[in-house]
Structure 1
């Protein structure tokens, strides 16, 4: 045997795995990340078990071996004993699990494993294997043999026993009219008890105990990070609800489950019912309601018994008294604790900062709790603009009703309107807890990261002393994502007033400005951002150019070229069909332009606005089809409409860009050099190259998005520039804009070259 791993090939595999004793084989590949992560574990266990041979098969080099053992995923571990396969598992094993497997393989009887496999084959044939009584029936749902009595209604009733497919007993229990009721036992394949406990009316009640074994088993035990040192686990239930979990080693000593180290000694000041939480490194006493939610007083302590925090809960929400250790969190160095009231997870009322002796250092009135539903309806999140004076009047009305949350947000919008932040700063100092800068940032970061689409948590954090600029920026992002960019712009401007040194916030503002169609202002922010974050500034510039291109005759900008073979020579559609589709593109663009214009004051037309294409539809907009057709044994769906009412400004411009590109190339394909309805079909000489270019560029976009360009590098497919950036250098968040443009262009050309196609918007033209 060897203390090192052995590379197995077709030349040495049979001889090696046929050796007496235990042989482990790791099937792996160089490109497999989990394989590379498992390798040092495998090597380390090999070094510690010189009596076991540890082999490795490179599945890329040894296809025949991998095929013979039907390796579907890697890493896969197969164990042989005396030449017989006795174990197989897919996925990387933790070191403790691998070491336990080696121990069990040493004591494993290969003949017993062979018998088990033969018994499974008998079960597959519907034959009861040895060990299963003749009266047992196969339960296809549970994949077990089962035997016991039934009541008059055909439900299981009385003692029942269950056997695995290999014939080994796995469960004994008592059922009462179909529900477990009474004591039960489960068994490992070697006959040792794996679990015991009791059911009451179908629910676990009392102690349920798991027992480990040194043999190979399919029974659960060491899961979810539980150490192999744990040999017994006791989970205590109260009518189906877990109320306590304890883990023990082989000597019966209580241990910490993840490490198997001795359970810490409980400080005298901590109640006996408190449990040590390994994940937190703290003692915890958590009271629960019947639904398993926190209810009543819940407390947490350090390993030595000092209070970390305690709070009263009502059915899962903090409601009532709260107190926590706060040393080093607040501006006043004397502060050791903070305490106050909560309502439905929101701070409210009078909060106090205390010194180590419990004396009050400072108090703040945090006002009334304003929950999610109330804040969602608040005008402070409205997209409608107001004057600074109107926002301050609203703030005063809120303060009169102790709605401090709303008042702060109203003053933030007022500050953004007239660039004066004195009243906002003054109110922040009066109604929020004064944290140290680092604590304020950490508190805000945690909430912003988890706030998601919620409106209440961030302003609640603001009252608790969270970093105001960070939280206002969080609201700016939330509002922008909720299609309220004007409100978002106020909040990001307020954040920059409070923290002008945070130039990365300019990127957030730039995105909001683009959502408002203010491209020139977004480019100014990119210029300011460039000395600090050049890559982010470059992204913002490219995104601006992508959203707001020059809508001139795009085919005039480049000479089409494709390296594809079999390029089409000419359009297959006739002039009448082409004119009809041109009118549909014009109708779509008219709808997009109209929707974009509604976002600006009457008469205001930004320079990037898609052109008026009314001349292409002299009779006005035409009907856009939504239908299904039967063609060549398949159903073809056509949808020529756009969900304009559901589209934000960036979506509208992306759609306009894609349609404009398809329209201008369609006109070019008829021989036009400007936007005008063609009177004949006179394709340029390089028509086929344009069609091939559309497909080739679409493939490059999708390859860039899906594989990062790996396919293009392997095939050496030529690249192209999109808005001045090479496709392989284009940020992946922007590739979708180019992809949509060339998907529309490809669909148009696929329709154009084949007269049997009905519309560029039929679904079977939208593939790769």
Structure 2
């Protein structure tokens, strides 16, 4: 037999699966990520079992086969033995689990499998199958037959038994007042015990043991990376809380769960309660509270038994003393250990760096702990600018109060004001732990990965010696997300001055500048990035063009083209209805414009600002409706309202862009060539092409966003440019702008070409 998976078609499927022996079939599709990830596992397992046929069915190419077997999700794995279906499951499997499944299916008795299928059919008909107590009832939630007594209040009481749909016993336990209480057992289909343990008033208590089986079973044991060499797993519970887990092989020897190899000898000095953490390659002992959070002393050792770190915890937070191995972490090569303390996860107070003999090399005062609530309310994160001198004065008051984190951040803002880096670096020298450059980057990187949304954590990492440039940039990103672009700009400028070699910071500054409406400055950063990071520079430039278009009469810039058929010849709405919708677009645009203007000082010159369209509203803004309307037999929601409060500049511009696009094309459809209230409906000759183009382009963007453009490739749909870039080359992060742009245009044309519609903001006109 072939040791490689075989592609099956409708013509070859019956011949292959009807053969004597075991045949596995993987139902998959090219577009399915889990299918592609599972493919190497499937192929590797095929090589290990040359006596088994491994087939594959492409559900896209073989739709008749996938329909016949009712394939609802992929990957789906089916197994046939001697022409009989003996297994079916959905979802990708790990190599160990697939290998174990194949081995168990080899031992499966086909006669038993056929009987099991017959029993399942009886269950589907509501008939109790052989082997199940005749008075058992079907539990739809657990998909099991159940038999046991209840008390006068309807509570489960006494011994209970459960059976699978195929009639095999799967569970025996006892209940007391509707809660499991006492010993329980679960069983493999073969009748072997798969689990046993004890409940106490509804909670697992004591050892709960899993037993593997060499025979076919649907009971799961080798989950989450546990090796199939593990044949027994014991999990110890204390009133529902797991307190320990051990794994054993077939000879009852304790093993490492991921590999099944013998458990390593415990180094001298490692307490018996410590367990090996495979994921860390470390020994650990952690005290927990009833919620499973660290509470008390946590200790970790290297495999050789050397203490790596230990620290005190209170309700899941570091709080108390801390000490750790610190080899090659600090600038002074003599440092081998560090000691200090935490308060509510924040390093604070006196920290000491020690040599190999535990002699003091140096100390640093990290200052008082400042939790998230206090620090996030600090003026250092305010969007209101101050002079460099004012920031330095504020930093001095913070130093006097030992608020060193806040002082450093205040000096960072002073750096942005006068480009004087020295005061910031001098304070870092005094209050921050002096790490090596590589370790400083690693320390900052860990904070960015685990706590980038915490002002306190980022500031705390600064005094712990994390890379200043990375952390100041992280503050800029966070503040930009909080719509404090002025503060964000100060921090990213400080980052560039502290670490001028980091050209990547220019990208962050470019994004901040765009959020401030300073597109020309952002484009300069894009130019500066071009040599070092051309791809990033291109993205920044395209984003600037997409976000800040020239708001002129857009239909004048392109000729409508569509390959769709049966296009409308003219609008179906009346002039009065069109004027009403024009004024709704104008009302919305004026709301957005007012919100944008409110972000700047009066008189600011902003070339990208959406135009004043108040001339379209001679009687003032019109009402924007939010209502349910009946269209034919359908109830449709209409929501024309617009809430701009709290919106950032990019979102406001995207709203303006979408409404402006729809408005100008609506006026074009009436025969206008500028933004005025239409006095007649005189559609251009290519009206239908424009209507088709709106839908075709919206579909094209959606296809690119959802499938990566596979639909367009298959259909040969033509491309187009957006913000000066071909749609197939547009960065995925910018597709949302294009989608919104054409979604508004499409909704407008849907409304315009059907007289039954009442508004472009009907929910049934929006979406794909």
TM-score by shorter chain over 0.5: yes
Deviation at 1:20, TM superposition (A): 4.1
RMSD: 2.3
Q: 1:479 to 1:78 in 2, by over 3 A?
A: same
Note if 1:155 corresponds to 2:155.
yes
- 2:413 touches 2:494 (CA, 8 Å); kept in 1? yes
Q: Distance in 2 between matches of 1:648 and 1:571?
A: 36
How has the CA–CA distance of structure 1 residues 15 and 603 changed in structure 2, closer, same or farther, with 3 Å as cutoff? closer
Match of 2:340 in 1: 340
Q: Give 1:362-511 correspondences, 5 Å limit.
A: 362-511=362-511
Per-residue CA distance 1:499-526 (angstroms, 9 max, x = gap): 1111111111111111111112111111
Separation (CA, whole Å) in 1 of partners of 2:16 and 2:110: 17
**Equivalent residues in 2 for 1:505-654 (5 A)?**
505-654=505-654
CA deviation after TM superposition for structure 1 residue 576, in Å: 2.9
Query: Which residue in the other structure is 1:725 paired with?
Result: 725
What secondary structure is seen at the aligned counterpart in 2 of 1:644?
coil
- 1:521-549, CA deviations, whole angstroms, 9 ceiling, x for partnerless residues? 11111111112112211221222122222
Bigger CA drift: 713-722 or 518-527? 713-722
SS in structure 2 at match of 1:483: coil
1:318 corresponds to: 318
Within-5 A mapping of 1:678-757: 678-757=678-757
Deviations 1:362-391 (A, max 9, x none): 110001111111112111111111222221
Residue pair 1:597, 1:605 contacting (<8 A) in 2 also: no
| Aligned-residue offset at 1:316 | 0.8
Q: Retained in 2: the 8 A contact 1:156–1:177?
A: yes
1:186-201 map, 5 Å: 186-201=186-201
Question: Shift in Å at residue 56 of structure 1?
Answer: 4.7
Q: Which residue of 2 aligns with 1:22?
A: 22
How far apart are residue 178 of structure 1 and its match? Answer: 1.4
Q: State how far apart, in whole Å, the 2-side matches of 1:15 and 1:714 are.
A: 32
Structure-2 separation of matches of 1:762 and 1:46: 54
Q: Do the aligned partners of 1:571 and 1:752 also contact (CA within 8 Å) in 2?
A: yes
Q: 2: CA distance between counterparts of 1:224 and 1:612?
A: 60
Q: Is 1:255 aligned with 2:258?
A: no
Moved more, 678-687 or 178-187: 678-687
Deviating more after overlay: 425-434 vs 535-544? 535-544
Q: Is residue 398–residue 406 contact of structure 1 (8 Å, CA) maintained in 2?
A: yes
In structure 2, how many angstroms separate the alpha carbons of the residues matched to 1:85 and 1:255?
36
Partner in structure 2 of residue 166 of structure 1: 166
Displacement of 1:304: 0.8
Check the 8 A contact 1:159/1:173 in 2, yes or no: yes
Cα distance in 2 for residues equivalent to 1:489 and 1:654? 22
Contact 1:284/1:300 (<8 A) preserved: yes
Note if contact 2:380-2:409 (Cα within 8 Å) is conserved in structure 1: yes
Q: How does 1:270-309 map to 2 (within 5 A)?
A: 270-309=270-309
How far 1:484 moved relative to its partner?
0.7
Q: How many Å apart are 1:3 and its aligned residue?
A: 5.6
Q: Residue 91 and residue 652 in structure 1: after superposition, are their counterparts in 2 closer, same or farther (change >3 A)? A: closer
Contact 2:589/2:659 (8 A) holds in 1: yes
Whether the 8 Å contact between 1:180 and 1:201 is mirrored in structure 2 is yes
Query: Aligned partners of 1:583 and 1:565: how far apart in 2?
Result: 31
User: What SS does structure 1 have at the residue aligned with 2:608?
Assistant: coil
1:204-244 superposed Cα distances (whole Å, 9 cap, x missing partner): 11111111111111222111111110111111111111111
The number of equivalent residue pairs is 768
1:70 Cα shift? 3.4
Q: How far, CA to CA, are the matches of 1:677 and 1:357 in structure 2?
A: 86
With structure 1 as the length reference, what TM-score do the two structures score?
A: 0.95
How far, CA to CA, are the matches of 1:729 and 1:139 in structure 2?
Answer: 53
Deviations 1:158-201 (A, max 9, x none): 22222223222222222221112222222111111111111122
- Kindly provide the CA deviation profile for residues 406-427 of structure 1, in whole angstroms up to 9, marking residues without a partner as x: 1111111111112112111111
Cα distance per residue 1:22-67 (max 9 Å; x no partner): 3444445566555555455444444444444444555556555544
| Range with bigger deviation, 683-692 or 642-651 | 683-692
Q: Using a 3 Å threshold, how does the CA distance of structure 1 residues 81 and 614 change in structure 2: closer, same or farther?
A: closer
Moved more, 124-133 or 17-26: 17-26
Are 2:208 and 1:208 equivalent residues in the alignment? yes
CA 1:650 to 1:148, structure 2 compared with 1: closer, same or farther past 3 Å?
A: closer
Which residues of structure 1 form unaligned runs of 5+? none
Contact preservation (8 Å) 2:24, 2:55: yes
Which segment is superposed worse, 476-485 or 546-555? 546-555
- In the other structure, the counterpart of 1:127 is 127
Q: Are 1:312 and 1:321, in contact at CA under 8 Å, matched by a contact in 2? A: yes
- Retained in 1: the 8 A contact 2:631–2:757? no
